Amino acid sequence: MKLFSVAKVGLFLDSITHGTETRDGDEVKIVTLTLRATPMSAQLASAVPGPVRLALFKSTEGGDVRAHLRRVEFDLGVPRQELEVFATSDTEDPTISFDQAKVVKTLARIDKNVSGWSFVVKVSFGPVDKIELEYIEAWRLGQRWVTFHEADASLFPDEESAADDDQASLLDGATRH
Domain ranges of the chain: 9-152
Ranges of beta strands (E only) in the chain are 9-23, 26-40, 71-74, 81-86, 96-110, 117-125, 143-150
6: how many CB neighbours lie within 10 A of its CB? 13
Share of the chain above pLDDT 90, in %: 70
The confidence score (pLDDT) of residue 32 equals: 98
- Under 8 Å between Cβ of 33 and 123: yes
Give me the mean pLDDT over the 159-175 stretch.
45
The confidence score (pLDDT) of residue 125 equals: 97
Q: Which residues contact 102 (CB under 8 A, 6 or more apart)?
A: 80, 123, 124, 125
Helix (H, G, I), strand (E, B), or coil: what is residue 68?
coil
The confidence score (pLDDT) of residue 80 equals: 96
Confidence of residue 64 (pLDDT cuts 50, 70, 90): confident
- Under 8 Å between Cβ of 119 and 146: no
On the question of pLDDT at 97 being above 60, the answer is: yes
174 or 62, higher pLDDT: 62
Confidence of residue 114 (pLDDT cuts 50, 70, 90): confident
| pTM of the predicted model as reported, rounded to 2 decimal places | 0.84
Residue 126 falls in which region: left (phi positive, over 0), alpha (psi -120 to 50) or beta? left
